């Protein structure tokens, strides 16, 4: 349900989002200028989204240079930093429009308001870009609301994807998958970012950074392409995204590979079975010790023959693999449960599709099957009004 909703929404919102994105990356606005003019304390950037990127409150505007060399940002991958900056920019922008120098509200409120403002700026600039000259406040508010929820959804979803793969920081691919999942055509994004008539929003004032030691720089950082505002963080060090040649011979020795595969499998199996044994009932061969050789307790099945006879999923998967690689052709080919209804290679040849039935139970079958005259395939007759009961 949720996904459906999101997809529907995406159709409506896609355009707005794009506009929003555009707004941030408009290089025509001078970053330095804005930050100097506004001097707003920027709120923490992403309470709900990327905790790792939360910035600290800093009253004074900090120079773009500082901002660029922020280590936390530097370590991010390209897309990730873009997104983060999007938020940061938005937050800073909104707070800038509203709070000026007044800092009576608490930081959280501040942050929300600031973000809201930025979004409004973005919406407004997009509207402007689209040719609107004025807009009612209510409609701008609505659009802002939609934009906000859209961005929140990207964040939430990207976070799930990244956690699913056991990471804490989203990577580019998480975002891409998220966007694809939300129905957004990612391929159109670069072209949109480079469009000529885009508006650029000023760089947000950035809070002061925790004083972190400068990391060793390795290699020359890549310069920004023209469509990325210069206040955006720099590319991370090249070694984080380009291929680093290594000088150790990759492990291709057969023996080592086999060794590795074997011990890996064994470790996994051991860990898995131990886990199962720990979490469930066990039996032991030694009365005094139940943990050294824990045996998962024997549990009777209600239908024991099914597990005993049907190939396990792993085996079926293997079968498929060996099938697809067409290792060796055998005389009797297999009828795997997985592809029973579709393929019956080899042994059963042309008659196979004719055989697909358990239809005699339901009485329905396709035309082909009725070609075979087998009494078990014939339809069940309706009871006749006849002497049926007379026998009993």
244 vs 263 by CB, closer to other proteins:
263
| Distance (Å) of CA 234 to CA 67, 77, 136, 220 | 9, 10, 38, 11
Task: Please say whether the beta carbons of 199 and 29 come within 8 A.
Answer: yes
Listed in sequence order, the residues at least 6 apart from 293 whose beta carbon sits closer than 8 Å to its beta carbon are 284, 285, 286
| Interaction residues for other proteins, span 100-119 (CB under 8 A) | none
Dihedral of CA atoms 129, 146, 204, 157 in degrees, nearest 10, equals -120
5 vs 275 by CB, closer to other proteins:
275
What's the CA gap between 216 and 240, in Å, rounded?
A: 13
130 vs 262 by CB, closer to other proteins:
262
Task: Please say whether the beta carbons of 188 and 17 come within 8 A.
Answer: no
Q: Does 249 bind other proteins (CB under 8 A)?
A: no
191 vs 391 by CB, closer to other proteins:
391
Structure tokens at 153: 């959804």
Beta partners for residue 295, in sequence order: 283
Q: Does 243 bind other proteins (CB under 8 A)?
A: no
Q: Strand 282-283 relative to strand 295-296: parallel, antiparallel, unpaired? A: antiparallel
108 vs 257 by CB, closer to other proteins:
257
Q: Does 267 bind other proteins (CB under 8 A)?
A: no
Q: Does 247 bind other proteins (CB under 8 A)?
A: no
Beta partners for residue 283, in sequence order: 295
DSSP-based three-state secondary structure for 304:
helix
Q: State residue 334 phi and psi, 5-degree precision.
A: -95, 150
Determine which residue in the list 69, 103, 160, 360 makes contact with other proteins, applying CB under 8 A.
360
Q: Is 312 exposed, middle or buried (0-12, 13-18, 19+ CB in 10 A)?
A: exposed
Q: Which of these segments, 90-98, 217-225, 230-238, 277-285, binds other proteins (CB under 8 A)?
A: 277-285
8 vs 265 by CB, closer to other proteins:
265
Dihedral of CA atoms 98, 104, 106, 111 in degrees, nearest 10, equals 10
Determine which residue in the list 276, 278, 320, 368 makes contact with other proteins, applying CB under 8 A.
276
Interface characters, 307-326, with other proteins (x: CB under 8 A): xxxxxx-xx--xx-xx----
What's the closest the beta carbon of residue 116 comes to other proteins, in angstroms?
A: 52
Q: How many residues does the chain have?
A: 392
The secondary structure of residue 293, as a DSSP letter, is S
Determine which residue in the list 100, 167, 293, 364 makes contact with other proteins, applying CB under 8 A.
293
E strand intervals along 146-302: 282-283, 295-296
Determine which residue in the list 28, 149, 152, 351 makes contact with other proteins, applying CB under 8 A.
351
Q: Does 248 bind other proteins (CB under 8 A)?
A: no
Determine which residue in the list 65, 301, 324, 390 makes contact with other proteins, applying CB under 8 A.
301
Q: Which of these segments, 3-11, 73-81, 179-187, 375-383, binds other proteins (CB under 8 A)?
A: 375-383
DSSP-based three-state secondary structure for 249:
coil
What's the closest the beta carbon of residue 361 comes to other proteins, in angstroms?
A: 6
What's the CA gap between 81 and 98, in Å, rounded?
A: 26
What's the closest the beta carbon of residue 165 comes to other proteins, in angstroms?
A: 23
149 vs 264 by CB, closer to other proteins:
264
What's the closest the beta carbon of residue 345 comes to other proteins, in angstroms?
A: 10
Interface characters, 45-84, with other proteins (x: CB under 8 A): ----------------------------------------
Q: Does 297 bind other proteins (CB under 8 A)?
A: yes
What's the closest the beta carbon of residue 110 comes to other proteins, in angstroms?
A: 54
Structure tokens at 176: 């891409």
Determine which residue in the list 4, 168, 279, 286 makes contact with other proteins, applying CB under 8 A.
286
Residues binding other proteins: what is the number (CB under 8 A)? 84
Q: Does 347 bind other proteins (CB under 8 A)?
A: yes
Reported as type and span, the H/E element at residue 278 is helix 254-279
Determine which residue in the list 142, 188, 264, 374 makes contact with other proteins, applying CB under 8 A.
374
């Amino acid at each position: 349900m949720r996904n459906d909703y999101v997809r529907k929404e995406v159709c409506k919102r896609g355009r707005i989002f794009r506009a929003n994105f555009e707004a941030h990356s408009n290089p025509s606005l001078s970053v330095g200028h804005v930050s100097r003019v506004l001097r707003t304390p920027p709120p923490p950037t992403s309470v709900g989204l990327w905790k790792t990127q939360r910035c600290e409150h800093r009253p004074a505007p900090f120079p773009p240079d500082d901002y660029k060399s922020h280590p936390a940002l530097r370590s991010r991958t390209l897309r990730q930093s873009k997104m983060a900056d999007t938020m940061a920019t938005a937050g800073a922008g909104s707070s800038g429009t509203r709070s000026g120098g007044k800092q009576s509200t608490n930081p959280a409120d501040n942050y929300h308001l600031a973000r809201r403002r930025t979004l409004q700026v973005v919406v407004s600039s997009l509207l402007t870009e689209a040719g609107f000259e004025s807009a009612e406040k209510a409609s701008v508010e609505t659009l802002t609301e939609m934009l906000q929820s859209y961005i929140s959804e990207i964040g939430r979803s990207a976070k799930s994807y990244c956690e699913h793969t056991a990471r804490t920081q989203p990577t580019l691919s998480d975002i891409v998958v998220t966007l694809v999942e939300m129905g957004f055509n990612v391929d159109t994004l670069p072209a949109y970012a480079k469009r000529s008539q885009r508006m650029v929003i000023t760089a947000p004032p950035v809070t002061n950074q925790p004083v972190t030691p400068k990391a060793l720089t390795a290699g020359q950082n890549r310069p920004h392409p023209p469509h990325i505002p210069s206040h955006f963080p720099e590319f991370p060090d090249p070694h984080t995204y380009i291929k680093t040649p290594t000088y150790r011979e990759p492990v291709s020795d057969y023996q080592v590979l086999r060794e590795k595969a074997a011990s890996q499998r064994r470790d996994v199996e051991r860990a898995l079975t131990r886990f199962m044994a720990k979490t469930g009932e066990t039996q032991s061969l030694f009365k005094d010790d139940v943990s050294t050789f824990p045996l998962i307790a024997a549990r009777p099945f209600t239908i024991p023959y099914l597990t005993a006879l049907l190939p396990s999923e792993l085996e079926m998967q293997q079968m498929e693999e060996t099938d697809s690689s067409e290792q060796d052709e055998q005389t009797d080919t297999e009828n795997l449960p997985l592809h029973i209804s579709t393929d019956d290679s080899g042994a059963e040849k042309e008659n196979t599709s004719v055989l697909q039935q358990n239809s005699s139970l339901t009485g329905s079958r396709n035309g082909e099957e009725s070609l075979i005259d087998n009494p078990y395939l014939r339809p069940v007759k309706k009871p006749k009004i006849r002497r049926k009961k007379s026998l009993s």
